[in-house]
Amino acid sequence: MEEKKRPDIKKLEKEATEIRKDIIKMLGEAGSGHPGGSLSSVEILTGLYYYKMRHEPKKPDWPDRDRFILSKGHICPALYTVMARCGYFPKEELMTLRKLHSRLQGHPHMLYLPGLETSCGSLGQGLSIANGIALGARLDRKDYRVYCLLGDGETDEGQVWEAAMTASHYKLDNLCAIIDRNRLQIDGFTEDVMKLESVKERWASFGWHVIEIDGHSIKEVMDAYDEAERTKGKPTMIIAHTIKGKGVSFMEDKAEWHGVAPKGEQIELALKELNMKPTKEQLEEAEA
């Protein structure tokens, strides 16, 4: 595959801010959900859907599409927002999140919403699913790629490491996994719950090509996806260092915002902060 022409980084940064605002509004309307990990994963999904991944929103079953597996299904507000903004369904539908009969379930349901490759919710299973799809592509002699987003706390699950061995054994170089390394899970810091470091060395020891990036830098995200596509003979793991609750000061680095929706004045304050939030490039220009 040839590398695509890159979209304007400033435009993607602005889009990421709009995605974060949609997430806050959706969760506020629903009165439940998971803001922390949704906000931390925005640039990861933006770089994937707006740049790297080959997909057709109007033809979600296109056989040659790249596949995305959301292993940590609870951060689906971020995925739904990106999908809506790409044209998979009307943006107005975002406000039906978690409501009765909505296609936007609290965890993704592939039979309800076109564009989802799998239903998810039980942590630890996504990478195994991605392995199967990647192996299927090889057997069918298809050149589509498979992407899988995991939470860092999710890698406490043993099945993740079985899948890591499997992907390496079969040299699945059409597979790229990403860890949203925001360092927090529902019970607190990952290093207190179950030590993960060195994450890079662990995945490398399982035979993966490992890339570490700032998960909030659109450029680094796109660079990593390109490097993964160029890597042959082994799967790629991108460790995206992020901030849980990114963009909302009272949510950032707070485990208590793992699965609690904002309400009332919290919604107003979050949206105000996001409206005022300068981009990384604006900050650099100001410093210069």
Determine the Cα–Cα distance for residues 41 and 215; give it in Å rounded to an integer.
Answer: 8
Which of 278, 178, 182 lies closest to 221, judged by CA? 178
Domains of the chain are: 9-287 (3.40.50.970)
Per-residue DSSP letter, 118: S
The strand pair at 188-189 and 184-185 is best described as: antiparallel
Strand order in the sheet with 67-70: 67-70, 146-151, 175-181, 236-241, 209-214
Q: What six digits make up the tokens of 169?
A: 């054994």
Determine the Cα–Cα distance for residues 253 and 284; give it in Å rounded to an integer.
Answer: 23
- Contact assessment for residue 186 and residue 258, using Cβ atoms and an 8 Å cutoff: yes
Q: What is the pLDDT of residue 276?
A: 83
pTM: 0.94
Q: Which residues of the chain are under the pLDDT cut of 50?
A: 282-283, 286
Distance set, CA 169 to CA 10, 147, 153, 154 (Å): 40, 18, 24, 22
Q: What is the pLDDT of residue 11?
A: 96
Q: What is the pLDDT of residue 2?
A: 54
**Cα 261 to the chain's mean position, in Å?**
19
Q: What is the pLDDT of residue 169?
A: 98
